[in-house]
Amino acid sequence: MNSRILASCTILVLLTICSVTKAAELSGSKPKIILVITDDQGYGPVGKHGHPWIQTPNMDKLYGQSARFTRFLVAPTCAPTRSALMTGRHPMRNGVTHTILERERMTLNAVTLPQVLKEAGYTSGIFGKWHLGDEDEYQPHNRGFDEAFIHGAGGIGQAYACSCADAPGNKYFNPYIKHNGSFVKTEGYCTDLFFTAALGWIKEVKEQKPFFAYIATNAPHGPFIAPPANEKRFTDLGFNEKEAGFYGMIENIDENLGRLLTKVDEWNLSNDTLIIFMSDNGMTGGGSGRLGKRIGESKDGETLYPFNADMKGLKGSADEGGVRVPFFVRWKGKIKGGQEIDQIAAHIDLFPTLVSLAGGKQPSNQVEGRSLLPLIENQKNDWKDRSLFTHKGRWKTGADPNESQWKDFAVRTQRFRLVGRDQLYDMQKDPGQKENVIEQHPKIAENLLKEYDQWWKKTVPMMVNEEAEMLPYRPFHVQFEKQSESTGIPNWNPPKL
């Protein structure tokens, strides 16, 4: 054989071996894991995503250092996405068909991510928003988390005529927080507190065993209340109070993300730690309504929306803008930074990805997602297309879910998004969903509708909360009042970082 050809073959073989070795190193490599998920931010409000006025230097830094999934899809609202992260299967198959009214409770039959990670030798902590059931048996400290520092319901201060309610009278500043099952009184702004608690816990456990830190901010969910300094930057620019609160909350999250990244470097954890940044659903319209015009104003009959990366739809929508979020994955020295991965991926994929990294065992008959490690490693040849299903849920209590089957739903493949029965979009040619191509591709639409119908029929029997009666009391309120009367509510002592 010609020596030049032999040398080329040798290099090719070595490259192949290195690629396989690297992939093998990731699976079962047991990194420390930090997952940061924001509430209602969505895809648009990130500087590197082209947002015209928000400043997010730390998100932008992480963007540059990460493998970025450009089409990462979640549920249209918050609790459903969170249940998918915890189980690896579609939210409705976890019984989560709403965000309140006992339908936000994640079935107790599910094996959770921290439970699987615990079997693989991990310790897990949650800091911020849980939103998968406020009754004690549904709480995170009883579902695998070793450390839990959370608010109740879907947001600080929320309360509904059911079990879903936070501590009574809670505010974004100085909130009462449930810490490992008991309430404590804090001082400071909620997002700052959640990151401080997470950093204190990481500092404590980082030398003991691999950890999973789940930092789930309630910001920038409404009410749109930011620290005064963050809010002032936007009011000075002429934004109204809600808008200034929304964008100010995101910039405050960015500051805290910077604190996190600095401490990870300071503690020499960067080469051992996987960091993921994402949001839970598409951007809310509540505080983001400005791009020269307000939300709802129209020009020539076309509804105007705030900046959302030229996507159709916002939070609560089955369109792309309602479900597409940032998904940055960083592991220095292990995952190539700066790469963009354009295959569709979803909330159901996080569970199998992290379990694979941890060397854990997937629970049988539960996980519907795929490990994303092959995509992260650029091994795309065997990545088969699939259909991802979206449904807004949120039908009225007591209603037959089947009456809502053909409302507020979508099916997404790599190329197409079917929205309802009569809208089909070629997302590769038309990511903004401006041209309905269903007449050009009737067979594709027909096949996607058949897939959806089959999926729905299998899903309805798993909606275990549909006949649940409204709990006549609010567990967080009862526990708070009982503790106040007996032992009192102690002050929380922030960790020294």
Instruction: Find out whether 410 and 417 touch, Cβ atoms under 8 Å.
Output: yes
CA distance linking residue 111 with residue 485, whole number of Å: 35
Alpha-helical runs (H) found in 267-358: 320-323, 350-358
3-state secondary structure at position 111: coil
For residues 364 and 412, state if they share a domain: no
Alpha-helical runs (H) found in 386-488: 442-459, 475-486
For residues 366 and 392, state if they share a domain: no
For residues 438 and 300, state if they share a domain: no
Task: Name residues whose C-beta falls within 8 Å of residue 46's C-beta, 6 or more positions apart in sequence.
Answer: 54, 56, 59, 60, 63, 326
Q: What is the mean pLDDT of residues 241-268?
A: 97
Task: Find the CATH number of the domain harbouring 262.
Answer: 3.40.720.10
Task: Give Cα 317 to chain centroid, integer Å.
Answer: 16
153 found inside a domain? yes
Domain that holds residue 427: 388-462
Place of tokens 């990244």: 261
Distances (CA, A) of 412 to 87, 215, 344, 370, 423: 21, 28, 8, 16, 12
**Domain end (from 353, 376, 399):** 376
Question: Which pLDDT tens digit goes with each residue over 224-235?
Answer: 999 999 999 999
pTM attached to this predicted model: 0.93
For residue 3, count other CB atoms closer than 10 A to its CB: 7
For residues 403 and 346, state if they share a domain: no
Task: Find the CATH number of the domain harbouring 419.
Answer: 3.30.1120
For residue 135, count other CB atoms closer than 10 A to its CB: 17
What's the mean pLDDT when you consider all of the chain?
Answer: 92
For residues 295 and 429, state if they share a domain: no
CA distance linking residue 34 with residue 375, whole number of Å: 20
Instruction: Find out whether 149 and 194 touch, Cβ atoms under 8 Å.
Output: yes
Q: What is the mean pLDDT of residues 488-497?
A: 97
pLDDT at 286: 83
Picking from 145-159, 284-298, 377-391, 456-470, which range would have the lowest pLDDT averaged per residue? Answer: 284-298
For residues 308 and 411, state if they share a domain: no
Question: Which pLDDT tens digit goes with each residue over 402-414?
Answer: 999 999 999 999 9
For residues 364 and 400, state if they share a domain: no
Question: Which pLDDT tens digit goes with each residue over 145-163?
Answer: 999 999 999 999 999 999 9
Picking from 126-130, 376-380, 461-465, 484-488, which range would have the lowest pLDDT averaged per residue? Answer: 376-380
Instruction: Find out whether 186 and 195 touch, Cβ atoms under 8 Å.
Output: no
Instruction: Find out whether 95 and 79 touch, Cβ atoms under 8 Å.
Output: no
